[in-house]
Amino acid sequence: MAVVGAGKVGSALAKALARAGWPVVAVACRTAASARRASRFTGAPAMSAGEAAARGRLVLMAVPDDLVSVAAREIAPRVQRGAVVAHTSGVLSSDALAPVRRRGARAASLHPLMTMPSPAAGAASLPGTRFFHEGDRGTAPVLRAMVRALGGIPIAVSRGGKALYHAGAVLACNDLVALLDAAFRLFGRAGVPGRRARAALAPLVRRTVENVLALGAARALTGPVARGDAGTVARHLAVLRGRPRELYLALGRATLDLARLPRPRRAALARLLENRP
């Protein structure tokens, strides 16, 4: 197999696949420096995207979302007929690979649902990771075999559902990071800065996530909105300004949708949580 776009995700997959006995015949990157780093990390030779694609019966394209179609056009003249070409974008479907499909290759998408801050951390995190895939007929068996070789769990997703699936993943991962950063900043303004804030919130965040995963969101919900405590919510809003206030209002309304409250308490909270200056 060949990897086109051997950054964090591509290098992690190439390294782990090589360890699992899937020979990686080539890696390709946009810059020479990136290609050298990827080659050292994976042990595979670095070459151009077209040359890499020509060598692989399975080609993984781990390039940024906006470059998937560009890279597909670049490798299309060199791709082998009947080869499986899969990109790793979470939001795009296999239709983004139309140029290689027209050349007789089979197009697919394969997205590992895992955060990868570095190639080494990414490779180590793959066992147990869910990989969401879709694509042309005959691609699923190849992708499922590869995922299982990595210790992952393959899950089919509909071609038309990719954007919704990925938006959900972003809410659960990237947006959670932004939300926690807002919480850390509020702690800092209250006199509990940086490392102390993270250490203080860590047990609460971990237990909350564990409760949601074990019980479901509605049963895991606690706090002032779940209790119908309009007085506490009003006190919070009185001291919040700017982006933290916007977040609090938006998430408060979403929380109210989950809460099981008598109608009068729900109405009082809904009035408080209206988007107002």
Q: Using one digit for the tens of pLDDT, what is the confidence trace for 140-160?
A: 999 999 999 999 999 999 999
Helix axes 174-189, 242-258, angle to 10 degrees: 120
91: tokens are: 């939001």
Please state, as a whole number, how many other Cβ atoms lie within 10 Å of the Cβ of residue 206.
Answer: 10
Residues 106-149: pLDDT tens digits? 999 999 999 999 999 999 999 999 999 999 999 999 999 999 99
- Residues in the chain with pLDDT values less than 50: none
- Distance set, CA 94 to CA 67, 80, 85, 90 (Å): 14, 17, 9, 11
What sign does the dihedral 26-27-32-38 (CA atoms) show? negative
pLDDT the model gives residue 32:
85
pLDDT score of 225: 96
Strand locations in the chain, DSSP E? 2-4, 26-28, 58-61, 84-87, 106-112, 130-135, 153-156
Q: What's the CATH number for 2-160?
A: 3.40.50.720
Whole-angstrom distance, CA of residue 105 vs CA of residue 88? 17
pTM over 0.75: yes
CA atoms of 22 and 42, how far apart (whole Å)? 12
Burial class (CB in 10 A: 0-12, 13-18, 19+), 51: middle
Q: What is the pLDDT of residue 276?
A: 58
> What local confidence, expressed as pLDDT, does residue 228 receive?
95
Kindly list the domain boundaries of the chain, sorted by start residue.
2-160, 171-272
